[in-house]
Amino acid sequence: MAKMKSLLAFLMIFSIILISSCREQEPEPEEFEKGTNEYVNNWIYDNMNLYYYWNEDLPDKSINGASPEDFFYSLLSNQDRFSWIQPNFQELLNSLQGITLESGYEYILYNDPNNENGVIGQIAYVKNGSPAEQSGLKRGDLFTKINGGALTLDNYRDQLGNLSQNHTLTIERYDFENEEFLEIGDFELGAVQFAENPNHLDTVYTRNGKKIGYYVYNLFSVGIDTDSAKYAEEMDQIFEQFKSEGIDHLVLDLRYNGGGAERATINLASLIGSNISEQDIFVKRDYNEGLKQAFIDEYGEDFLNRKFVQKTQNIGSNLKSPQLTVLTSTRTASASELLINGLNPFMETFIIGDTTVGKNVGSTSFYEENNPDNTWGMQPIITKSFNSLNQSDYDLGFYPDIPLRDNSLVKLDLGDVNEKLLREALIYLAGSDEVSRQTKLQEISAKDLMGSMELKRRFGIYDIDLK
């Protein structure tokens, strides 16, 4: 019943849980034929019965030949908005590391304000080193056609399927001098298996005598794979630079960060947190009663806690109130929210943007690595998160201190001091700067339909290590 190597150590715990479970246990059925749906479904049920946060809501065990996908979703509690399963566990693991078949850009779709049935795509950001960056695609570019076909409310979902292969986008770019969008042609974009570096942008602004660090972080990932720490090491270097420059405030841009790994979240929190130590709790995990008690019996109460780590690059003690300003959107989720909640007891956080998703639960990946008879991977919710003050009341999201929707069709590059949300943060922290505000942006608001971020399996993930 392997899923991760670390779970093999819990075979003893499994037996404890099975014995102590309040569910009436049925006799073990005869072994299911390998490679059948029944075989996979039995694996699904056994793991869900042991780990699923709402395992008391599971139906009685009854293995049938339904597709594993249908069987899995039939088990979920009505409190569960986030668990999923997919046929290929390696694709699941890749998605959690930010590796997908794509051209290297994220987009948001809007209703065309000038065409009732029309749909407009807008580039939210372009990933560093991607085919999209090499082609010259820019944040704020609009696309009205994919492979020459116009986007409409009737066909856009089908059209989006073309974006995971080589494709063309018909691009319109805003002319700031004439204040209008101009079509600049078709961009040919190749699709590759691309690993996104989450450390998208970092810089320091000096305004009215204050130094303000700005960090755009788009995915909680420590490295390209589970054995790599490349991205975490880069993050440490970024904060070493912030520290050496003596920043007074930090603006953390999580608008496009839908979550990721707990390890990366703890690393970032440990770089930012004020007056923290390795003894301070960042997050408390709650599990189903059987699993929680088994962990306590085996390892003690402290096993349920995850603490900050010692980082020489920590800038928390150097920051002035408000120490952390977070830029958010309706796509800020899960591990991003975990970060805010975990830091709240230790420092003043200030949010500018839109209400976040509201995910205060976490999951982990279940798969059988070397079993050709079961290639499925599932990501069920197994824990609920609390901070050191036992707070977990963000299931409806974090509401911003300054509400500001980023839904204009006219957008500047991330990092531009006149970019809508960053400009608001800089004004709030250090007052206006007439030099930087000379660019007056035309607001062309549109109704947000959906974005590519929430279509990715990694969206809404708070992925934990059970060790």
Please name which of 429, 188, 171 lies closest in space to residue 323, comparing C-alpha atoms: 429
pLDDT bin (cut points 50, 70, 90) of residue 9 is very low
- pLDDT tens figures, 245-271: 999 999 999 999 999 889 999 999 999
pLDDT at 440 over 90: no
C-alpha–C-alpha distance, residues 106 and 300, integer Å: 44
pLDDT at 13 over 50: no
- SS3 label, residue 293: helix
- Residue ranges and CATH numbers for the domains of the chain are 102-194 (2.30.42.10), 196-442+454-463 (3.90.226.10)
pLDDT at 91 over 90: no
Type of residue at 248:
D
Q: What is the 3-state secondary structure (H, E, C) of 151-198?
A: CECCCHHHHHHHHHCCEEEEEEEEECCCCEEEEEEEEEECCEEEECCC
Beta-bridge partner residues of 249: 212
- In the DSSP assignment, the letter for residue 220 is B
Average pLDDT over residues 361-387: 92
What is the model's pLDDT at position 12?
41
Please state whether the peptide bond connecting residue 322 to the residue before it is cis, i.e. omega within 30 degrees of 0.
Answer: yes
Assigned token pair, 445? 């608001």
Angle, alpha carbons 261-134-120 (nearest 5°): 75
Beta-bridge partner residues of 286: 384
What is the model's pLDDT at position 275?
93
- SS3 label, residue 235: helix
pLDDT at 154 over 80: yes
C-alpha–C-alpha distance, residues 338 and 395, integer Å: 11
Model pTM score: 0.89
What is the model's pLDDT at position 439?
57
What is the model's pLDDT at position 90?
85
pLDDT at 63 over 50: yes
Percent with pLDDT over 90 in the chain: 75
Indicate the average pLDDT of the chain: 89
- pLDDT tens figures, 306-362: 999 999 999 999 999 999 999 999 999 999 999 999 999 999 999 999 999 999 999
- SS3 label, residue 41: helix
Q: What is the per-residue DSSP string for 243-287?
A: HHHT-SEEEEE-TT--EEEHHHHHHHHHHH-SS--TTSEEEEEE-
pLDDT at 7 over 50: no
C-alpha–C-alpha distance, residues 153 and 157, integer Å: 8
- pLDDT tens figures, 107-124: 999 999 889 899 999 999
pLDDT at 15 over 50: no
What is the model's pLDDT at position 463?
64
State CA 150 to chain mean position distance: 30
What is the model's pLDDT at position 429?
97
Element (H, E) at 391: none
With contact defined as beta carbons under 8 Å apart, do 462 and 257 qualify?
no
- SS3 label, residue 142: strand
